[in-house]
Amino acid sequence: MAFKLDTHDRISMKSSTSVLELSGQKLEFDWIGPRPPHAPTLVWLHDALGCAATWRDLPAELSERTGFGCLNFSRRGHGRSTPITQARGNDYLHHEAWIVLPDVLAACGVRNAFIVGHSDGASIALLYASRRPRGLRGIALEAPHVFVEDRTIEGIQQAVRSLAKSDLEEKLRRFHGSNADGVIRAWHETWLRPEFRGWNIEAQLADIHCPTLVIQGEDDEYGTLNQITAIAEQTAGPVQVVILEDCGHIPHRSHREVVVDTITRFVSEVPSQPAYCIKDAE
């Protein structure tokens, strides 16, 4: 969902930014640390207002802590990737999970991966895992959404009302350039569309067998703990849940050390040969 930027945000990362040309579109991405097949890869999926750069130096720190490589890319319409030219469908997260992400991983040679997703990115990670793709070892989620709640709608409406009084659009232009207006519009127009209220991916949770880590703030302005309960109770694989006090929608900002330590421990404890992922992603 929304990504609140502060005056201390930094765009620079310890990585080399490149462009991946895929199905007629260009996606900006960063490689950090070792590349396949020398180590597992942490694949970073940003939130609705984010891009590769808004993770700041978090991927670099996780790469250093784990010894894994990191693939960090901006989805279409975000960062310096190809702009979005039409309204998103209600299935846009499914498309990212089942069409785009498998193509990105294949193009980059990633066959041994953990997915780290925040908000929209976490929902994409869940949908991707539901296809049980070969080589997926686990998913680490921050503030995931599996259905739309009243708090979700109210939080977005409040954020939209505050736009005119804030400098969020100006800050987003630092990260997205000419894509900034489209990023904001696609976010609130999609989630506030009446027919999107029925969006729900609970039916896919039973197909998730890989280890799952879920990190959620008690004060998340875009979702309640009901999201986490649904994941913990309905997925087929092992689930580790971390609930953080005095924490909103962006745990890796307000509780960075806890998030880094938790993800590091999680990916280090997962077996290197997953038995629960039995086919290639479709």
pLDDT tens-digit readout, 112-135: 999 999 999 999 999 999 999 999
| Cis peptide bond prior to 37, omega within 30° of 0 | yes
**Tokens 């670099």 label which residue?**
60
DSSP letters spanning 10-59: ----SSEEEEEEETTEEEEEEEESPPTTSS-EEEEE--TT--GGGGTTHH
pLDDT value at position 273?
A: 63
Say which CATH topology domain 16-269 has.
Rossmann fold (3.40.50)
Q: What is each CA distance from 255 to 71, 141, 148, 215, 245, in whole angstroms?
A: 23, 14, 25, 10, 10
pLDDT value at position 24?
A: 85
pLDDT tens-digit readout, 157-180: 999 998 877 787 888 999 999 999
Phi, psi of 35, deg, nearest 5: -105, 160
pLDDT tens-digit readout, 199-253: 999 999 999 999 999 999 999 999 999 999 999 999 999 999 999 999 999 999 9
Average pLDDT, the chain: 90
pLDDT value at position 162?
A: 87
Mean pLDDT of 142-160: 96
When pLDDT is cut at 50, 70 and 90, the band that residue 23 belongs to is confident
pLDDT tens-digit readout, 177-201: 999 999 999 999 999 999 999 999 9
**pTM score:** 0.91
Every domain of the chain and the residues it spans: 16-269
In sequence order, the 6+-apart residues with CB closer than 8 A to the CB of 214 are 141, 144, 228, 231, 232, 239, 240, 241, 242
